[in-house]
Amino acid sequence: MGFALIDAETYGLFLESVFYGIYLVTCGFCIPALFVHEDRLKRLRDLNWPMVLVGFFMFSIATVDVVLQFYRNLHTFRISNTQLEALEDFTAIGNPINFVKSATVNFQTTIADGMLVYRCWVIYSRSWLTISLPLLLVLANVAIVGVLLYLEFTLRTTHALVNVKQLKPFGAAFWAITIVINVLTTTLIVVRIWRIHRNTKDFRYQGTHPTPRRLNTLQHVIRIIVESGLLYTGTSLVAFITYLTNGVAVAVTTDLLVQIIGISFNLIIIRAAQRVDQESSVTSQSRSEFPLRFMGTPANTFERPVQHIDISVVTEQESDKQGESVNDKNESVL
Looking up residue 76, the CATH number of its domain turns out to be 1.20.1070
Q: Report whether pLDDT(210) > 60.
A: no
What's the CA gap between 190 and 199, in Å, rounded? 14
Per-residue pLDDT band at 5 (split at 50, 70, 90):
confident
Q: What is the pLDDT of residues 71-93, one digit of tens each?
A: 888 877 776 666 666 666 666 77
Determine, yes or no, domain membership for 330.
no
Instruction: Convert the pLDDT of each residue in 54-66 to its tens digit.
Output: 999 999 999 999 9
Query: What is the structure's pLDDT at 279?
Result: 57
Strand pairing report for 292-294 and 302-304: antiparallel
Domain assignment present for 180: yes
* DSSP helix/strand/coil, 326: strand
What is the mean pLDDT of the segment spanning 235-261? Answer: 90
Helices (H) and strands (E) counted in the chain, each on its own, are 8, 6
The mean pLDDT of 310-317, rounded to a whole number, is 46
pLDDT of residue 333: 37
pLDDT, mean over the chain: 79
In this structure, are residues 100 and 64 in contact, taking their beta carbons and an 8 Å threshold? yes
Q: Report the pLDDT averaged over residues 112-141.
A: 95
Q: What is the DSSP letter of 42?
A: P
- Whether 233 shows a pLDDT value over 80: the answer reads yes
Based on the structure, what is the number of domains in the chain?
1
Kindly state whether residue 29 falls inside one of the protein's structural domains: yes
- Residue 318, phi then psi, degrees to nearest 5: -125, 130
| Domain of 30, in residue numbers | 2-285
Q: Please report the pLDDT score of residue 315 as a whole number.
A: 45
| 293 part of a folded domain | no
What's CA 68's distance to the chain center, in Å?
Answer: 24
Cα–Cα distance for residue pair 248/3, rounded to 1 Å:
10
**Per-range mean pLDDT, top range of 19-28, 38-47, 151-160:** 19-28
CB 15 within 8 A of CB 255: yes
DSSP string, 164-203: -TTTHHHHHHHHHHHHHHHHHHHHHHHHHHHHHHHHHGGG
In total, the chain counts a number of residues equal to: 334
Please report the pLDDT score of residue 158 as a whole number.
55
Q: Please check whether residue 241 lies inside any domain of the structure.
A: yes
Residue 117 lies in a domain: yes
Instruction: Name, in order, each residue with C-beta under 8 angstroms of 25's C-beta and a sequence gap of 6 or more.
Output: none
The answer on pLDDT for 237 being more than 70 is yes
307 located within any domain: no
The tens digit of pLDDT for each residue in 250-305 reads 889 999 999 999 999 999 999 888 766 555 554 444 444 444 444 444 544 444 55
Return the half-sphere exposure (C-beta side, CA atoms, 13 A cut-off) of residue 246.
Answer: 8
pLDDT surpassing 60 at residue 308: no
Q: Residue 245's pLDDT band (boundaries 50, 70, 90)? A: confident
Is 123 contained in some domain?
A: yes
